[in-house]
Amino acid sequence: MSEPKTYMNLIGGEWVASQSGQTFENRNPADTREVIGIFQRSGAEDVDAAVQAAKRAYESWRLTPAPKRGEILFRAAELLRQRKEQYARDMTREMGKVLQEARGDVQEAIDMLYFMAGEGRRLYGQTTPSEMPNKFQMSVRVPKGVCGLITPWNFPMAIPSWKILPAIILGNTVVIKPAEDAPLSTYNLVQCLLDAGLPPGVVNIVTGYGEEAGEPLVRHPEVKVISFTGSTAVGQHITKVAAETMKHVSLEMGGKNGIIVMDDADLELAVQGILWGAFGTTGQRCTASSRIIAHRAIANELAERLAVRAREIKVGNGLDETVTMGPSINADQYNIVCNYVAIGKQEGARVLLGGERLTEGEYAHGYFFQPTIFVDVTPEMRIAQEEIFGPVTAIIAVDSFDEAIAVANGVKYGLSSSIYTRDVNKAFRAMRDLDTGIVYVNAPTIGAEIHLPFGGTKATGNGHREGGVQALEVFSEWKSIYVDYSGYLQRAQIDNAE
């Protein structure tokens, strides 16, 4: 294996070391002997330098016409398309998802680049008639300034793109603190923007650990917005810290997503969906299908068919094209998965499939776990309530549609949900009654597209959405403008009174 490359922080267009000189390693979770890169272990002083650079860049970037900003994004999309394969391989090596999914992650960033490039020619506001004669009024979006972006490792290019691109198309500048487990994919995305002509300081990267580099960004008085994706515990903490400087905070957090399978469902279709939803990305998606809420009439058959198919999942290093499931991201996450399997057994659930670490031979140096299916699960069990973030799904049997909806909604999270049914009436009732930000019909809980709003209710979010034009709300203020061309004083609500 060749010498790992050292990556610097990106501050004001310069590649610079952390002021402390400290670094950390990014290792391959499929083979921890491989170091992907050495990254800067940054602190508050590095964050401050990045925020100052972003503040300087803001003054000219906010005045750059939005269609011109969009052209840079468009060129970056073309570059990212050309580099897709290389960057997908980098991603698989740094965080373990199989190559096909890593390509999908890069594709999501390409899609977002094109979508937000187009927004450069829209960014629509409103015009509306005045209640007065000879008066014009409109609302326009204005950027907020320096935005702090904090991202997780599971979609290491897609999620940074969901935050960076709406922020900068609006004229904001950003400082991003990517996840310590997968920073390289943020570099790859940002490199395309730089090569496409993005001016220095518009996007700044500061790497490091959450408390050391993330929190100073949240505390910094010059940062106007924090956009965070990660765990609910950290999101709650960030909200409290950000309140001290009255920042706007957008949070995307955990999930405990359920697939309902009714007794009239196409079971083969449901099995395919569950396999993809539960074990795709090794269950490490915020939208992972970690609960299967099955009508009792078909629950056993569904479980058996699922187990047969899940046995065919090939676990291993995602660079091998025949592998269909990679490792857990790191030792902590691996231990969490193992602990939850133990908890599930203690609670009285039965392991139908899997439940063990894989440690021999090709698995010896990675965080590999068997695809795991629990049956005899009841809704209140911890494995049915808490986010596991691993290749573990729990089958819960229910007796009716109403019970299925109640169980699906009976968790603290509200990100994604799904129903398999051939009954259009049940499908529409589920669309209405499932209390999640995303609902799928006859598809699993994963698979969002970038041009619809993405986010969740309850403990998953704080009311904001990423994706779609809704993402623009996070990074802009509305300014309402009234132009009176009557030549005399007109008093709203007074001069036009009955």
94 binds ligand NAD, rule: CB under 6 A: no
To the nearest whole angstrom, how small is the minimum distance from the Cβ of residue 209 to ligand NAD?
6
Dihedral of the alpha carbons of 87, 91, 231, 431, in degrees to the nearest 10: 70
To the nearest whole angstrom, how small is the minimum distance from the Cβ of residue 465 to ligand NAD?
10
415 binds ligand NAD, rule: CB under 6 A: yes
Please identify, using beta-carbon distances, which residue of 228 and 374 lies nearer to ligand NAD.
228
Site for ligand NAD in 222-251 (CB under 6 A): 229-231, 234, 237-238
252 binds ligand NAD, rule: CB under 6 A: yes
Of the residues 215, 376, 403, 473, which one makes contact with ligand NAD according to CB under 6 A: 215
Residue in the structure block whose two tokens are 């490091």: 208
Site for ligand NAD in 368-397 (CB under 6 A): 387, 389
How far from the centroid of its chain's Cα atoms is residue 390's Cα?
16
350 binds ligand NAD, rule: CB under 6 A: no
153 binds ligand NAD, rule: CB under 6 A: yes
367 binds ligand NAD, rule: CB under 6 A: no
Please identify, using beta-carbon distances, which residue of 111 and 484 lies nearer to ligand NAD.
111
- Provide CB contacts within 8 A for 36, sequence distance 6+: 4, 26, 27, 28, 90, 93, 94, 184
467 binds ligand NAD, rule: CB under 6 A: no
Binding mask 172-211 for ligand NAD (x = CB under 6 A): -----x-xx----------------------------xxx
Please identify, using beta-carbon distances, which residue of 53 and 218 lies nearer to ligand NAD.
218
Catalytic residue among 101, 252, 403, 466: 252
399 binds ligand NAD, rule: CB under 6 A: no
Site for ligand NAD in 285-314 (CB under 6 A): 286
214 binds ligand NAD, rule: CB under 6 A: yes
HSE of 136, CA atoms in CB hemisphere, 13 A: 3
154 binds ligand NAD, rule: CB under 6 A: yes
445 binds ligand NAD, rule: CB under 6 A: no
Beta pairing partners, 149: 176, 227
Of the residues 50, 123, 218, 341, which one makes contact with ligand NAD according to CB under 6 A: 218
151 binds ligand NAD, rule: CB under 6 A: yes
> What secondary structure, in 3-state letters, does the chain show?
CCCCEEECEEECCEEECCCCCCEEEEEECCEEEEEEEEEECCCHHHHHHHHHHHHHHHHHHCCCCHHHHHHHHHHHHHHHHHHHHHHHHHHHHHHCCCHHHHHHHHHHHHHHHHHHHHHCCCCCCEECCCCCCCEEEEEEEEECCEEEEECCCCCCCHHHHHHHHHHHHCCCEEEEECCCCCCHHHHHHHHHHHHCCCCCCCEEECCCCHHHHHHHHHHCCCEEEEEEECCHHHHHHHHHHHHCCCCEEEEECCCCEEEEECCCCCHHHHHHHHHHHHHHHHHCCCCCEEEEEEEHHHHHHHHHHHHHHHCCCCECCCCCCCCCECCCCCHHHHHHHHHHHHHHHHHCCEEEECCCEECCHHHCCCCEECCEEEEEECCCCHHHCCCCCCCEEEEEEECCHHHHHHHHHCCCEECEEEEECCCHHHHHHHHHHCCCCEEEECCCCCCCCCCCCECCEECCECCCCECCCCHHHHCEEEEEEEEECCCCCCCCCCCCCC
254 binds ligand NAD, rule: CB under 6 A: yes
To the nearest whole angstrom, how small is the minimum distance from the Cβ of residue 332 to ligand NAD?
8
Catalytic residue among 101, 212, 215, 286: 286
150 binds ligand NAD, rule: CB under 6 A: yes
Please identify, using beta-carbon distances, which residue of 182 and 341 lies nearer to ligand NAD.
182
Please identify, using beta-carbon distances, which residue of 61 and 115 lies nearer to ligand NAD.
115
To the nearest whole angstrom, how small is the minimum distance from the Cβ of residue 95 to ligand NAD?
10
Size of the site for ligand NAD (CB under 6 A): 30
420 binds ligand NAD, rule: CB under 6 A: no
Instruction: Based on the residue annotation, tell me whether 192 is a catalytic residue of this protein.
Output: no
Of the residues 375, 460, 467, 468, which one makes contact with ligand NAD according to CB under 6 A: 460
Instruction: Based on the residue annotation, tell me whether 252 is a catalytic residue of this protein.
Output: yes
To the nearest whole angstrom, how small is the minimum distance from the Cβ of residue 417 to ligand NAD?
14
152 binds ligand NAD, rule: CB under 6 A: yes
Alpha-carbon separation of residue 320 from 96, 103, 106, 360, 395 (angstroms) = 11, 14, 18, 18, 30
Please identify, using beta-carbon distances, which residue of 25 and 59 lies nearer to ligand NAD.
25
Residues that bind ligand NAD in the complex, under the rule CB under 6 A: 150-155, 177, 179-180, 209-211, 214-215, 218, 229-231, 234, 237-238, 252-255, 286, 387, 389, 415, 460
Catalytic positions, please?
A: 252, 286
